[in-house]
Amino acid sequence: MPDKNSRRDMIKKAAALAFASTTLSSLTNRVMAHEEAMDEKLKGNINHSVCAWCYNDIPLEELCKSSKNIGLQSIDLLDPKDFATAKKYDLTCAMVASINKDWGINKGWNRVEHHDKLVEYYQYLIDETAKAGFPNLICFSGNREGLDDEQGLKNCAQGLKRIMGYAEKKKVTIVMELLNSKINHHDYQCDHTLWGVELCKAIGDERFKLLYDIYHMQIMEGDVIRTIQDYHPYIAHYHTGGVPGRHEIDETQELYYPAIMKAIHDTGFKGFVAQEFVPKRADKIGSLKQGVEICDI
């Protein structure tokens, strides 16, 4: 019969083996869960992207890594300096940014006096977008500031026509975003789908289209699905967002995104849908994953 010391040693060895077995099992489960997440496939009916600015408190490298794991193919609204980071993770930038200290949402193409400098700036951005092999470059009308909609449209068309030949040569599509002027962007001129469609017709170039922001247009005009069905030939890109509040696109808001995504898919759309909601929850990447899953019809 073993003595007390031998029995104590045997108990210690058994406990150590049990601990090692539990640790190995836990590690194996974590690895399997990670591999399962990496292997999870989206359905492929919608090309998914996300707008980087909504996650400004997350380093871009981390956002790219998480987006890739979720199954996204793109990060929206990057500046040229950030292109290399997206490419490192085999992500495209489906919509290149164009805001700097001089130009942006409030100050854009609807003023003739801006055109010369905007043409110079956009030629640079077209070059950078083309060199990266990215498809779309965003633009903005600017605010009305007393300018009537008819004249604003004429001015936008006049200025944008000056860069369309260059955009065509470089195979870059110039895309004007539709934004609401009721809540977020007071006095913005391109605030209704029909105004944007008339601008597309005035420019008359397949390299000029619209970014239909579902959040913004729900606020301005509603009737989202029928508008998409009627005017989809003029739309190059879509953004999401919960109404009201521009937060998660789940049951806390009024839009039913699976039906909207089905309507987009049914038009034959081959471009990208980007999540552009600002997460309220602490787990922001979890909210992004949920948004992509809701839209993955």
CATH of the domain at 253: 3.20.20.150
User: Do 144 and 212 share a domain, yes or no?
Assistant: yes
Report the alpha-carbon distance of residue 145 to residue 74 in Å, rounded. Answer: 35
Q: Check whether 224 has a pLDDT greater than 70.
A: yes
- Over residues 172-184, the mean pLDDT reads 98
User: Do 63 and 169 share a domain, yes or no?
Assistant: yes
User: Do 238 and 151 share a domain, yes or no?
Assistant: yes
pLDDT score at 32:
41
User: Do 231 and 219 share a domain, yes or no?
Assistant: yes
Is the Cβ–Cβ distance between 68 and 289 less than 8 Å? Answer: no
Over residues 256-295, the pLDDT tens digits come to 999 999 999 999 999 999 999 999 999 999 999 999 999 9
Which residue type is seen at 143? Answer: N
Tally of domains within the chain: 2
Q: Find tokens 């909210």 and name the residue.
A: 287
User: Do 186 and 288 share a domain, yes or no?
Assistant: yes
Report the alpha-carbon distance of residue 119 to residue 271 in Å, rounded. Answer: 26
User: Do 118 and 3 share a domain, yes or no?
Assistant: no
User: Do 159 and 193 share a domain, yes or no?
Assistant: yes
Q: What is the pTM of this model?
A: 0.87
pLDDT band at 41 (very low <50, low <70, confident <90, very high): confident
User: Do 19 and 155 share a domain, yes or no?
Assistant: no
User: Do 261 and 225 share a domain, yes or no?
Assistant: yes
- Over residues 93-113, the mean pLDDT reads 96
pLDDT score at 108:
97
User: Do 211 and 158 share a domain, yes or no?
Assistant: yes
CA distances from 242 to 58, 62, 88, 130 (A): 21, 24, 31, 32
Domain assignment of residue 4, given as a range: 1-39
Lowest mean pLDDT among 17-31, 64-78, 94-108, 234-248: 17-31
